[in-house]
């Protein structure tokens, strides 16, 4: 493992794709983010991105998350993984074009889950890439599962695992909203942004904000943060910023104050 503690940057699928149109990548946004990442020039960075309109529609059509029930799903598993590599390729193109030595690491090649949770994870190549000052890039993926046959591994679960495994200094979540609100900011104009929540405050608000995925009043953000609990409990603070707004990811990477939510017992 590299001596300096890494930063894990998550880039949401809703940031780099238009979720309303299948296979529509936001290539201008991808290029802007690559520019910001180049400019911030953070050492020991790991990037994880989501699937947006590349991974999700096909995964949903074939019920990949629920596991193998029927052989006809197999082509859906193959397609979902393939489409994720295509989206990943667009981001890799942009990062490398910006002279960033970024190297993709394929989650389904190195991870097997058990009932949807990471069971084994060969992270040797990621550790070595960090040691050599490369930028490893991973993504939510269709993966094999020892109980279900296969499933979907979310980028968020992967972020928590990487942050824990590599003793990350911080997690930056680049999403399409300003942070965690007390209601869904996309539908509720009066939704109030939490600027800072301690781990205890976060846990305390569970019954109010997101008792279950179905009852997540925050529009899904609470559920994403809950997925990061293993890292938060190890003391890794999480900063949520709106990555659809220029310069936010750059400022967050530089440790500058950005409108957003900080979760954890340290302010970034």
Q: Is 246 in the site for a copy of itself (CB under 8 A)?
A: no
CA dihedral of residues 4, 197, 232, 246 (deg, nearest 10): -50
- CA-nearest of 139, 138, 121 to 130 is 138
**Site for a copy of itself (CB under 8 A): which residue of 1, 110, 183, 217?**
110
Phi and psi torsions of 150, nearest 5°: -150, 170
Burial of 181 by CB count in 10 Å (0-12 exposed, 13-18 middle, 19+ buried)? buried
Q: Is 96 in the site for a copy of itself (CB under 8 A)?
A: yes
Q: How far apart are CA 137 and CA 71, in angstroms?
A: 31
Q: Which residues pair with 241 in a beta bridge?
A: 174, 260
CA dihedral of residues 40, 87, 8, 175 (deg, nearest 10): 80
Q: Toward a copy of itself, which CB reaches closer, 111 or 241?
A: 111
**Which of these segments, 15-23, 78-86, 168-176, 250-258, binds a copy of itself (CB under 8 A)?**
78-86
**Site for a copy of itself (CB under 8 A): which residue of 42, 129, 171, 172?**
129
**Which of these segments, 14-22, 38-46, 127-135, 182-190, binds a copy of itself (CB under 8 A)?**
127-135
Phi and psi torsions of 158, nearest 5°: -65, -40
Binders in 193-232 for a copy of itself, by CB under 8 A: none
**Site for a copy of itself (CB under 8 A): which residue of 66, 149, 167, 220?**
149
Binding footprint of a copy of itself on the chain (CB under 8 A)? 68, 71, 74-75, 77-79, 81-82, 85-86, 88-89, 92-93, 96, 99-106, 108-110, 112, 120, 122, 124-125, 128-129, 132-134, 144, 149-150
């Amino acid at each position: 493992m590299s001596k300096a503690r890494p930063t894990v940057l998550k880039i949401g699928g809703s940031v780099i794709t238009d979720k309303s149109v299948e296979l529509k990548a936001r290539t201008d946004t991808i290029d802007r983010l690559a520019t910001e990442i180049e400019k911030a020039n953070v050492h020991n960075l790991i990037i994880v991105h989501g699937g947006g309109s590349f991974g999700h529609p096909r995964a949903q059509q074939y019920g990949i998350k629920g596991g193998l029930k029927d052989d006809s799903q197999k082509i859906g598993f193959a397609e979902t993984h393939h489409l994720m590599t295509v989206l990943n390729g667009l981001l890799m193109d942009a990062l490398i074009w910006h002279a960033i030595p970024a190297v993709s690491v394929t989650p389904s090649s190195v991870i097997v889950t058990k009932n949807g949770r990471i069971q084994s994870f060969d992270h040797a190549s990621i550790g070595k890439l960090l040691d050599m000052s490369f930028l490893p890039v991973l993504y939510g993926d269709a993966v094999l599962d020892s109980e279900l046959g296969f499933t979907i591994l979310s980028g968020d679960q992967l972020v928590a695992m990487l942050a824990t495994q590599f003793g990350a200094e911080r997690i930056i979540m680049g999403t399409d909203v300003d942070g965690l609100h007390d209601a869904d900011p996309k539908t509720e104009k009066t939704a109030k942004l939490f600027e800072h929540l301690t781990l205890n405050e976060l846990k305390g608000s569970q019954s109010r904000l997101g008792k279950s995925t179905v009852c997540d009043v925050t529009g899904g953000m609470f559920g994403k943060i809950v997925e990061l609990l293993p890292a938060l409990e190890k003391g890794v603070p999480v900063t949520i910023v709106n990555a659809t707004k220029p310069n936010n990811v750059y400022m967050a990477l530089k440790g500058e104050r950005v409108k957003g939510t900080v979760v954890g017992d340290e302010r970034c």
